[in-house]
Structure 1
Amino acid sequence: MKFGRSLRFKFIVGFSIVMIPIMVFVYYNNLYAIQVVREQVSLINSNHLSQNMEQNERVLQATSRYLYRLGDTDPDIIALYFIPYGSGDYTITKQRILNKFTTDTSFYNLIDSFFLYNIREDDITIGNPDHYNDKITTIKEMMPTAIMKDGRVQNANWKIVKAGSNYGLVKITQINQDLYAGAWINMNSLNNQEKFVEMGEKGGSLMISSDGTPLSDTSLSSDQIKLVSRYLNGLDKPYQIIKDPVDKQNYLLVGRKSAVSDVISIVLLPEERILLNLSFFQMAIRWTPVVALCFLGLSLVFLRETLFKPLGTLIRGMRTATRGDLDFQLVSNYSVEFDFVIKTFNQMISQIQHLKIDIYEEKLRTGEAEYKQLQMQINPHFYLNTLNIIYSLAGLKKYDLVQKMAEHLADYFRFSIRTDRDFIHLYQEMEHIEHYLEIQKLRFPNKLLFKLSIAESFDVIQLPPLTVQPFVENAVIHGFKNRGEHFVIEVHVVSDVHNPDRFINIIIIDNGDGFPATLLEQLHSGQYIVDDWKQHIGIWNVENRLRMKFGGEANLSFMNRPDGGAVVIIRIPIELAESGGGLLYA
């Protein structure tokens, strides 16, 4: 009983129902006559194609030789190079060349026009006035890409171009340093439709490129052209039988590719016209699409009930799970195999739901621990420097400065050792920076100046502790090298220029040496984390803590001032900062 419901049994029965009638029909249908007719018609049209293509190529080759000889045999073209542009002699010589091109066009019956291009003066002389503006525009657009830096023509073959709504073949040769001669052939001149047989109303010939672009006028529809373009790789065969999905008719396709250009000449013949005198085969071919559609309909109904419905149920369940909704169960009443798959899927979804909850809770705990560790890594940076300052002042018996230093130092360490805070107010961070800079002023008397500015409306904005101070400390350590001049540090809190309602910018500016070019490039690309992260642990800590608290909303920018010094910009979202963040992972 289970085997009767199995997918294997249903596939066997369905395959038999669909394929046995087709196999019986094919077995009793004599295809020999159709094959003979196809071969004869394809041979005739293939010969016509080959003759037409060979004739066209002979003209193209003769035209190429003509262009190559112009620079050596035509005195007017030789003289034009030496005559000043715009002079009377230049105009007269150009007119003689134009007359020669017009006369020579009659000897090359496929040539639409010859032209001469002066690259130095961007001047074009073209023989045939038909579609003059389109040709001028096309030639001027293609010349910069067709000519290499040394003046040679990049591609010596015939090139397909488009002028307005018409396509053509263009050949360009270099005459001298400034002059280039060329020939233009209209694609419709290469397509000789009268020679082909059995085309009928639905058939036709066409010149087409290797990428499927129609190049000449044709009686074929756009759907037929698209159909032909999918079979261009098989033109090495004597013929191809293709089926149009629009009218359900079979067509015989014959084609030949040009040896001197990227042009393919094809002929599409309706098979119903080829088999016009074979009534039995014609009737069979006429009814084949109807029978095929019936078989297709039965197959689709069969597959929908046995395969598509259960697969659709599974796909809907997977899409629901992809959106993050795991609180569901699929109902199955299909074959044995799909029942097993859907039940297994339901069990997996339940397990994933529980596992996701466990992982999320563990991730929260791990992230909080990582954040605390990052915050604590910053604290030891300043200890040794402050002890050295106190020692030096005590040795000089400047006890008033020692007291002042101790007061600032106490406030500084009181702020630094409080690692239990995820967020502080911006004014508290600025006060901490002020204590740090006052300590540095005592260390470098009359050498260090600083300015801190913050609007009152930004005082209560919250950010992680020690977000700004590491950059001020880096400025003092790395930027304060020229002790003969005052070292100035400024910290400004302003609204973001581009989005003042959503972001604030904390700008740290100094007049020191600025960032080295290599370091600045690493800071922009983030490569400093890979190459030398230990020397930039402060930057790395700030960047990671901002990412953990604000996600991708906060970022750091680094640059150098034009007149010397470094600039660091910390952008913080106002809404998240005012609410104390809330994004542990992003």
Structure 2
Amino acid sequence: MAKPAENKLYSIQHYVKIMLFISFSALVLDFAISITSITIVKQQSTRSLQDTADLYINQINKDFNYINHFMGWTLANDENVEIMQKNDINSTKFIKANSDLFKRVVELQKIYGPDYNFFLYFNKLDFMSNFTPMNMKYTEYQSLKNQIIKMVNDRSIYDQYYSNWSTIDLMGTYYVINIVPYHDTYMIGLISADDLILPLHQLNLGENGFASLVDEKGVRITSPISSKGTVVSGDEAHSIVSDFMHTRTTVNADFTNASFYVELIIQFGAFEKIMIAQLLIILLAVIIACNLSFILIYFKKKVLTPIKSFSYNLTFWTGDGEPLDVESSKIFELEKANKQFLTLVTQIKKYKIDIYERELEKQRIQLNFMKLQIKPHFFLNCLTSIYSMAQMQMHEEIEQMSLSTSKYFRYIFQNDQDFVRLEDELEHIRIYLDIQKHRYRDAFVYQIRQSDPSRGVKIPPLVLQTFIENAIKYAVSRETQVQIALTVDRQFMDEQFMTVIRITDTGPGFPQQELEQLAAGQPLDQTSGTHIGITNTVQRLEFLYQNKAIVHFSNTAQGGASVVLWLPDPPAEPLRMEA
């Protein structure tokens, strides 16, 4: 049985090369196809327009030939011309003959259109008559008459226009003219150049394309009007610089027996715009492909290469020391790194769980030890006080002391939470101070105040008792009455609300050396069994509040001790003190 072929793995460079090759090939192919398509379409359009122009020119040539024949036959055979030559211009015969000839020429004008004008010039009579309704200005008519007289008298000019359709400038307007002579009489056919070229203006030659008549000197004698009826500017019409977006195609067609020709300027800019749009789309795709290639190369250099090196190092973590391989992806760098990473994750999870469990156990043991240090401290003091009262046979005080002590220790031993309500903690402090009042009587007075915004706040248990107990131990004496004050408030500090607890007394205050140690964060001397409560409480606050709680120790202006606690709101998921 044949072994199935395995999928071959390729590197990122291989895919980048393929992507770039396909992109540039598509760009070149699209460019070639666009150029070829536009060239073919332009050739077809040009050929079609050329055929249309040829049909138009053939028709005009037929019209010119017939008009020439008509004018020559009329001069040679029409009796009205002979009558007009022999009679005075004001005679009845002249006027009648002129009227009959007018009617005959008008019939011809009906066939070829009102744009054609016909005139008859008698050189001997120095008289020029029009035989059709004129559609030209009188100043142009006067200019025509003067130029006809000049042509007749100047044979060099006359030969240019003799039986040949030529251009003539009449007061800035170009006309096409033909002069047919017979002895001393001349018949003139005249049509405006703009009217003659008007049918070609209906052709769609592009946005800036136009048709015009050009004389033998290469001067355009008609206005460059596009198929939309707008006049193309002279600079644009005569520009020889081909804009890539509007390439021009010129088609010329000649008339027979004429000194001018037709020029068609074709500018189909839409073809080039389509090509440009296609090229821009492909170019955009190439740019995107290049960017992706650069990103992949950068990713390989900055990410995959370190992963590959890391994967090589991870091979020594496996049992046989060989790198692992997979076939689920075509990029072998990622697959090798993935396998090695999975192996690493599995091993790290084992180590992490083991280390994490050990650290938790260590923290639990440490916290439990701290609480055990705090709880027996006051318990021994209470037993000592009850023993002293028993020696003095203070039975009523012993009852009250025992009841307060039971409430006090019930609160301690039934409370295993990390945080308790502030009101419960304050009530516990009142019970503690009442117990101490049984012992010290009038040696001290206390005051507890809590602001409304601080109600409902939670704090760690037994924190306040530590500092109140310290005030009782070091401030209260039999000589003078000590005042102990505990106030609670809420303040906005460091972009969060914090509970501010201030504990003050009127005793001798902290020794200067202890203040300096507390300010520097140094542990106090515990060799004699003292200061254990303060040290443990500070450590508890640092752990429970993740080093965000602040404890400030100082002496008041009157010399008493002052402890201020800034406690933020408890963390969302506080670490448990006990298992």
Smaller-chain TM-score bracket: 0.3 to 0.5
TM-score by length of structure 2 reads 0.41
Structure ranking higher on relative contact order (CA contacts 8 Å, 6+ apart): 2
TM-score by length of structure 1 reads 0.40
The higher radius of gyration belongs to 2
